[in-house]
């Protein structure tokens, strides 16, 4: 297996993570990408260990977050690009119960390193924001400019001799003498080897707004996020729709985001852009990773769901260890969990 030519199919965050791990191992590879679905390109790119609704750590956060922070920092240093920025997430509480729960978490050793309450003097820029129940803060988090990460990684790897095919991969070309790592997001729905696996897909929309009346360098969150992008531009997201299976930009998506934004802010803004993508989600909310039973040269790296930027680095490494070092895959993410005969 080690000597087979390696092909990565898909250049989203999944494919880019696999590529960097292969490069670290000095494994040669080529990349195919059709540029069809842009889940990664429109992602907020946040690495956030806290789920706000229930105020609990997200799955494997203590493992995934430090690995991801270290991985992206190393890569952006290698790319010499300022595209991985530290930003706290300021959570605007929706009611008194949420505020009380947040205080309780601050006294809990498992959460104290992440969660605290900002002082009043740290909130001077939020004059046009309502927060009657207060604000909590998730500390020390980062966000990646995902579109830049894909583009800069691609040019860097091309300069190192990696060949990129900017078109759809033709499954008829699969050869037993080569290895394929499929990182196709919802493109997997067309993959004859893996299409029966239960990848649902969750549609999401975002808008970019420009405003002179709001100036905040951190991320603000209340039923949506407001993420600074520089030049007075902020990305607002995101919607969740489980019915739409194409990355359609809908007027309803814009209305929903505007309504949620204006429910707690009063600054004037203009909409500069509107994006849509499909998150590759799975019912049990775990990635789907592994090797096909029949086509032993076909591997899958998918199901990164709503947190692909955070989840991909650790599991790309685990998949590479599985392929090249005889390593094992966590049962929770192994695609075999759906193929129990
Ligand atoms: C609005 C929104 C906000 C998000 N915010 C965050 C966030 O803040 N933090 C976070 O961690 N995650 C976030 N996510 C989730 C994250 O974006 C996804 O988990 C991640 O992008 C999935 O990456 P992927 O590489 O698996 O799929 P994709 O990004 O969809 O990439 C798959 C690629 O494969 C290509 N492809 C497919 N089939 C073929 C084929 N046969 N041949 C050639 N190419 C093919 C496609 O063109 C595409 O470029 C967000 C998602 C959305 C939609």
Q: Which two tokens stand for residue 121?
A: 């003097």
Q: What is the mean pLDDT of residues 142-147?
A: 94
Tokens standing for 135? 């604000």
- Express as a percent the part of the chain with pLDDT over 90: 86
* pTM, rounded to two decimals: 0.96
Give the span between the Cα atoms of 55 and 271, in whole angstroms: 31
Secondary structure (3-state) at 101: helix
Angle between helices 13-24 and 146-159 (to 10 degrees): 40
β-strand partners of 22: none
User: Given pLDDT bands bounded at 50, 70 and 90, which one contains residue 140?
Assistant: confident
Domain with CATH 3.50.50.60 in the chain: 5-43+146-198+283-338
d(CA 258, CA 252): 10
Q: Look at residue 37 and tell me whether its pLDDT is greater than 80.
A: no
| Three-state DSSP class for residue 147 | helix
pLDDT at 178: 96
Alpha carbon of 43 to ligand 1 centroid (Å): 8
| For residues 94-103, average pLDDT | 93
| Confidence tier at 52 by pLDDT (50, 70, 90) | confident
In this prediction, residue 113 carries a pLDDT of 86
Question: Does the pLDDT at position 258 exceed 80?
Answer: yes
For 260-283, write each residue's pLDDT tens digit: 999 999 999 999 999 999 999 999
> Taking 70 as the threshold, does the pLDDT of residue 2 lie above it?
no
What would the pLDDT profile of 208-251 be if each residue is shown by its tens digit?
999 988 888 899 999 999 999 999 999 999 999 999 999 999 99
Distance CA 19, CA 278 (A): 22
- 306 in contact with ligand 1, CB cutoff 6 A: yes
Maximum CA extent, the chain: 63
301 touches ligand 1 (CB under 6 Å): no
Q: Is the minimum distance from the CB of 8 to ligand 1 under 6 angstroms?
A: no
**Site to substitute for ligand 1 among 187, 200, 234, most atoms within 8 A of C-beta:** 187
Q: Where in the chain is the domain with CATH 3.30.70?
A: 202-277
Task: Say what percent of the chain tops pLDDT 70.
Answer: 98
Which among 225, 244, 211 has a CA at the least distance from the CA of 46? 225
What pLDDT is attached to residue 214? 87
More confident residue, 216 or 3: 216
Evaluated on CA atoms 34, 199, 60, 257, the torsion sign reads: positive
**Runs of H (alpha helix) within the chain:** 13-24, 39-42, 61-79, 96-106, 109-112, 146-159, 251-262, 308-324
Architecture label for domain 5-43+146-198+283-338: 3-Layer(bba) Sandwich (3.50)
**Ligand 1 midpoint to CA 278 (Å):** 7
124 CB-near residues (< 8 Å, 6+ apart): none
Cβ of 313 closer than 6 Å to ligand 1, yes or no, is: no
Question: Residue 208, SS3?
Answer: strand
**CATH class in words for 202-277:** alpha beta
pLDDT of residue 234: 96
pLDDT of residue 1 exceeding 80, the answer is no
Q: By the 8 A CB rule, do 50 and 57 touch?
A: yes
Token output for 137:
């803060």
Residue 176's SS3 state is: coil
Give the C-alpha distances (Å, rounded to integers) separating 326 from 2, 57, 58, 317: 11, 31, 29, 13
Distance CA 322, CA 336 (A): 14
Residue 341 confidence (pLDDT): 62
Nearest to 285 by CA among 222, 246, 253, 240: 240
Which residues does residue 135 pair with via DSSP β-bridges, in sequence order?
92
Helix (H) / strand (E) element for 29: namely strand 29-32
Which tens digit of pLDDT belongs to each residue from 294-340?
999 999 999 999 999 999 999 999 999 999 999 999 999 999 999 87
Q: Residues 98, 101, 102, CA angle at the centre, nearest 5°?
A: 85
Ligand 1 atom at shortest distance from the alpha carbon of 237 = 1
pLDDT value of position 226: 96
75-86 tens-digit pLDDT: 999 999 999 999
pLDDT for 190 equals 96
The per-residue pLDDT of the chain, averaged, comes to 94
């Amino acid at each position: 297996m080690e000597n087979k030519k390696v092909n990565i199919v898909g250049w989203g965050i999944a494919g880019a993570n696999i590529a960097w791990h292969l490069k670290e191992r000095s494994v040669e590879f080529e990349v195919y990408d059709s540029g069809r679905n842009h889940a990664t390109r429109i992602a907020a790119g946040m690495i956030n260990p806290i789920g706000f609704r229930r105020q609990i750590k997200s799955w494997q956060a203590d493992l995934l977050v430090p690995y991801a922070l270290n991985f992206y920092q190393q890569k952006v240093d290698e790319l010499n690009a300022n595209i991985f920025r530290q930003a706290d997430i300021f959570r605007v509480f929706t009611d008194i119960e949420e505020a009380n729960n947040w205080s309780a978490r601050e006294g809990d050793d498992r959460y104290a390193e992440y969660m605290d309450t900002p002082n009043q003097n740290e909130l001077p820029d939020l004059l046009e924001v309502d927060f009657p129940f207060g604000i909590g803060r998730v500390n020390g988090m980062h966000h990646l400019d995902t579109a830049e990460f894909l583009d800069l990684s691609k040019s860097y790897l091309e300069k190192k001799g990696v060949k990129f095919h900017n078109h759809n991969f033709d499954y008829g070309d699969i050869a037993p003498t080569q290895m394929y790592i499929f990182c196709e997001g919802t493109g997997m729905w067309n993959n004859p080897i893996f299409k029966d696996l239960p990848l649902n897909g969750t549609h999401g929309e975002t808008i970019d707004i420009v405003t002179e009346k709001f100036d905040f360098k951190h991320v603000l969150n209340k039923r949506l996020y407001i993420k600074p992008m520089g030049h007075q531009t902020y990305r607002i997201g995101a919607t969740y729709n489980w019915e739409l299976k194409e990355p359609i930009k809908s007027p309803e998506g814009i209305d929903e985001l505007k309504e949620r934004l204006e429910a707690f802010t009063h600054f004037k803004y203009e909409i500069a852009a509107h994006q849509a993508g499909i998150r590759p989600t799975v019912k049990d909310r775990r990635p789907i990773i592994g090797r096909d039973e029949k086509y032993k040269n076909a591997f899958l790296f998918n199901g990164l769901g709503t947190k692909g930027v955070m989840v991909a680095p650790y599991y790309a490494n685990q998949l590479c260890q599985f392929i090249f070092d005889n390593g094992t895959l966590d049962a929770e993410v192994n695609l075999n969990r759906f193929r129990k005969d």
